[in-house]
Amino acid sequence: MDIAIPRERRPGDYRVALTPVAVRELTTRGHRVFVEHLAGEGSGFSDQAYREAGAHIVYSHEEALQRGELVVKVARPLQEELELFYEGQVVMAFWHLASAHPAKVRTLMAHRVTVLALETVQDDDGYFPVLHPIGKLAGRFAPHLAGHLLRNDAGGKGILLGGVPGVPPAEVVIIGVGSVGTEAALAFANAGASVYALDINPRALERVDRDSHGRVVTLTATPGNVRKVLTFADVVLLAVNRPGYRAPIVITRDALRTMRPRSLILDFAIDQGGAAETSRPTDHTNPTYVVDGVVHYCVPNVTGVLGRTATHVISNALLPWVQAIAEHGLDAALAQYPALRRGLHLRDGRIVHEALKARYASEGGSA
């Protein structure tokens, strides 16, 4: 099979879908891999490293997108990239179509592109084998990000997460304790912050309580509890997520107004539309904005600036699924692996994923 790996085009995204080691696994089995010139530069992988792994280097973005029967990306393609895909082509990426503009979905349908969304590949036991590893990385990154944004010169309150003797630590609230929220809760606690974790799932709260050895305060995510913790929070991490669906709004504009000036919201649900009424996507060039005195950070590709680590995480998680399609073909791979079927969103010009169908039905669109 011909497999294409284009360079990521979103601002501040230094990741690439597969490492040279992963590419070698494909080329030694007879598959042709086309890698765009400098695709691995941001994550520390040279064109020569890919050549030595058996890949062909292509020098235009258009060729990189069109040489592969299977295209493997990280972030959702841009609108101009969608126009280059052709009928029957399979494109794997973190698509997050629940929050995409309808024009993008219409373009994909018109081009009859097969869309495999990495964020909804799900095992029978409920585990998301591609989404969860990158979510854990995002969660561990959260304290580093918050620590920087709390500095005065970054527009923050000028406080240290962990405090010092005689001065209390930052108050950190995490709403949603899946893979991202759990990792973030533990990382913030390890940084010395005072951490509160909220979720509607009692088992999720039990897990974070156990894993943190009681260092994280757990609360049921009722509207009343959410409003209560917002009044004293220095940092609020929104990590609510139902893969394939738009994120629910858990912070309304009225609730936002109860927060202290220069408090910080990290909306890690922005990939799925955002979990605050005032959230809108930003990028790594201009990552924050202020509403009602509260700093908002809403970068969808948050791990894009961790190019090397994020690429290793994604490549390790993604390679088995690329191999399955390359070795068996799409139809056989979908038949053999139910987890992969759950990642299928569009095929033959039709929406086939139930969550996306429901969105378009509610908006009066056609599936």
Q: Which residues are catalytic?
A: 96, 271
Rounded Cα–Cα distance for residues 309 and 315 (Å): 10
Structure tokens given for 12: 């501040």
Give the number of other CB atoms < 10 A from CB of residue 59. Answer: 10
**β-strand pairing of 90-94 with 70-75:** parallel
**What is the full DSSP assignment across 86-111?**
-TT-EEEEE--GGGS-HHHHHHHHHH
Contacts of 327 by beta carbon, 8 Å cutoff, 6+ apart: 29, 333
Rounded Cα–Cα distance for residues 40 and 338 (Å): 31
C-beta separation of 67 from 4 below 8 A: yes
C-beta separation of 198 from 172 below 8 A: no
Structure tokens given for 187: 């990382």
**β-strand pairing of 294-297 with 288-291:** antiparallel
Rounded Cα–Cα distance for residues 253 and 366 (Å): 32
Report the b/e string of 281-309 with b at 16+ CB within 10 A.
ebeeeebbeebeebbbbbbbbbbbbbbee
216: closest CA among 175, 157, 163, 247? 175
| Residue 275 dihedral angles phi and psi, to the nearest 5° | -110, 5
Rounded Cα–Cα distance for residues 87 and 207 (Å): 45
Give the number of other CB atoms < 10 A from CB of residue 206. Answer: 12
| Residue 258 dihedral angles phi and psi, to the nearest 5° | -85, -10
Contacts of 303 by beta carbon, 8 Å cutoff, 6+ apart: 15, 134, 137, 138, 141, 309, 310, 313
